[in-house]
Amino acid sequence: MPDKKRLINAACGRENADFVIKRGRVADLFTGRVIVADVLVKDGYIAGVGEYDCENSIDAYGKYVLPGFIDSHVHIESSMVTPPQYARAVMPHGVTTVIADPHEIANVCGKKGLDFMRASAKNIPLDIKFMMPSCVPATPFEHAGAAFNADDTKELAKDFHGIGEMMNYPGVIASDDDVIGKLEGQYIDGHAPGLRGAKLDAYACAGIKTDHECGNLPEMLEKIGKGMYVAIREGTLSKDLSRLIYGVNNYTFTRCTFCTDDRFVGETVAEGCIDTMVKKAIDLSIPPLIALSVATISAALCYGLTDRGAIAPGYRADIVIADTLQNLSVETVFKDGVKVAENGKALFDVPECDTTGVTDTVHLPEITPEFFKHDTPEKFTAIKLTPQSIITEKTEVKKGDKLSKVCVIERHHNTGNKGIAYVSNYGIENGAIAVSIGHDSHNVIVIGDNDSDMAIAVNTLGKSGGAAVVSGGEVKEYLELEIAGLMTNRPAEEVITIHDNLIKAARALNVTEDVDPLLSLAFLPLPVIPHIRITDSGLFDVDSFGFIQE
């Protein structure tokens, strides 16, 4: 909390301020105006917006002065780097606060994973508001590394900002006691793709206030009309902005936020994140100050962060200086009045994280080609990938069709549990790809066109996990993700280089061009995304919420 007297004295000129940003075009999101004004900063807060003098001044003439951006829903683990490295990637793009759900690592390491994320997020400038994972595991149809019941969740939630996305929407609708028991507090995130009508009413009655899984405009508007916030998402695989932005208008923008959800660090560094979403929204004819409001004050109010999201007296000095609203090239970023990034570069160093208790998390025997032997009938159900989406479709196929074999292997307790199915539209030839990222229980998943390379790919992951590409019995590329099989302590630049090599190696196996070879694979086990999935327990029909028996 700021020292109110010091702020008042600075505003009145009775006490020196820390610095002033002079003559900038200030985005006044409360009135929908852009005003030319000075912004006075004291003790990490804005002391005044008007005409001020200060010995330490920054000339912002002709430039825009904006609030720091807020990512309203993100899984930092999906960046493949630790929170400190993540901060170095997003803050140069103007992100100063993120709402993070660490359910990825919680599903692998339980409380130790939560402790790791919170500890590694200390002493970095990025403000990370952690939500307590509500779905560990996401459903009872897969085997995770940990399990939190309602009592566990409520006890741990005392140290979190709110409750993370409730993916088990059938459990909510059925009034399952354990599921409902987790939904306490003011800030509860949702995950309800396609939910409409009375079922959506039931879901909202549970106190769930957000959703980032809207498939179309009617669904988006219904959810907003029923009191929910809609987080418009631009992740690495799921990109919804160009479809949903047309639901943002003079009424709904206060109930809309921007989020990246699951986004690889390389895409953030190269293409941006929330800043890019604002620019894209403006390009699609959304008024600039409305687009900025969605990225800032709307997200702040959604999560009760009343001290940020605007350039106004008494608000945190989370400030972005950009060239124009249309290009939105972020030049300078301040967090709590401290310059943290300039011209696309982070101005702070970060320590390497202590990984005690979150390594060596892959527990599998040596896998042989025989492990993947699987008989199928003449006709059977397979998984059809949707290009540039995590949505899948059920498709009826027959022996002899061009298919890729996929296998999910329980990796937490070495049970030997496995599910085998077939995928169309992946296209892999003469090789295999294995990853220890398998949302959300994060069992090992491998796909290929021959059992020998599939075995080598899985064995390459070792105890650390990561991602491996194999062809002709040879390991072409391997990225070790020693932290829970999800992240690495390496600098982001190194991770990006190895990841680029992984993608090149995968593309050399003729993986379908408009299918992401790693992320589309990593989402195949997630049994809460329509319409068909493969878990370590078998082929799963999301629509009927049951296994497919053939």
Mean pLDDT of 493-513: 96
Region(s) of the chain under CATH 3.20.20.140: 70-303
Parallel, antiparallel, or unpaired: how do β-strands 127-132 and 162-166 relate?
A: parallel
- 368-392 burial, b at 16+ Cβ within 10 Å, e below that, comes to eeebbeeebeeebbbbbbeeebbbb
State pLDDT tens for residues 160-173. 999 999 999 999 99
Please report which confidence band the pLDDT of residue 550 belongs to, taking 50, 70 and 90 as the band edges. low
CA 212 remoteness from chain centre: 10
Mean pLDDT of 472-492: 97
The token duo for 87 is 């901060």
Mean pLDDT of 334-347: 98
pLDDT at 434 over 90: yes
The distance between the two most distant Cα atoms of the chain, rounded to a whole number of Å, is 85
Contact 310, 66 (CB under 8 A): no
Parallel, antiparallel, or unpaired: how do β-strands 392-398 and 418-424 relate?
A: unpaired
Query: What percent of the chain clears pLDDT 90, i.e. is strictly above it?
Result: 92
CATH class of the region 70-303: alpha beta
pLDDT at 9 over 70: yes
The token duo for 49 is 């917006």
CA distance 354 to 182: 30
Query: Going by C-beta distance under 8 Å and a sequence separation of 6 or more, which residues neighbour residue 280?
Result: 234, 241, 242, 245
pLDDT at 297 over 70: yes
Query: What pLDDT, on the 0 to 100 scale, is given for residue 19?
Result: 98
Query: What pLDDT, on the 0 to 100 scale, is given for residue 238?
Result: 86
Q: How far is CA 202 from CA 46, 171, 194, 199, in A?
A: 42, 11, 14, 5
Query: What pLDDT, on the 0 to 100 scale, is given for residue 140?
Result: 84
Please report which confidence band the pLDDT of residue 47 belongs to, taking 50, 70 and 90 as the band edges. very high
CA distance 394 to 345: 45
Q: Where are the alpha helices (DSSP H) in 475-515?
A: 492-507
pLDDT at 138 over 90: no
Contact 394, 381 (CB under 8 A): yes
Please report which confidence band the pLDDT of residue 229 belongs to, taking 50, 70 and 90 as the band edges. very high
Q: Which residue has the tokens 């990025």?
A: 126
Query: What percent of the chain clears pLDDT 70, i.e. is strictly above it?
Result: 100
Please report which confidence band the pLDDT of residue 445 belongs to, taking 50, 70 and 90 as the band edges. very high
Give the predicted TM-score (pTM) of the model.
0.95
For residue 109, what is the enclosing H or E element?
A: helix 103-109
Reference 273, options 308, 232, 324; nearest CA is: 232
Cα dihedral angle (236, 273, 91, 8), rounded to 10 degrees? -140
Mean pLDDT of 400-414: 95
Total Cβ atoms within 10 A of residue 298? 25
Query: Going by C-beta distance under 8 Å and a sequence separation of 6 or more, which residues neighbour residue 142?
Result: 441, 443, 525, 527, 535, 536, 537
Contact 487, 260 (CB under 8 A): no
Query: What pLDDT, on the 0 to 100 scale, is given for residue 237?
Result: 83
CA distance 468 to 459: 9
State pLDDT tens for residues 154-201. 999 999 999 999 999 999 999 999 999 999 999 999 999 999 999 999
Mean pLDDT of 405-411: 98
pLDDT at 474 over 70: yes
Mean pLDDT of all residues in the chain? 96
Total Cβ atoms within 10 A of residue 67? 29
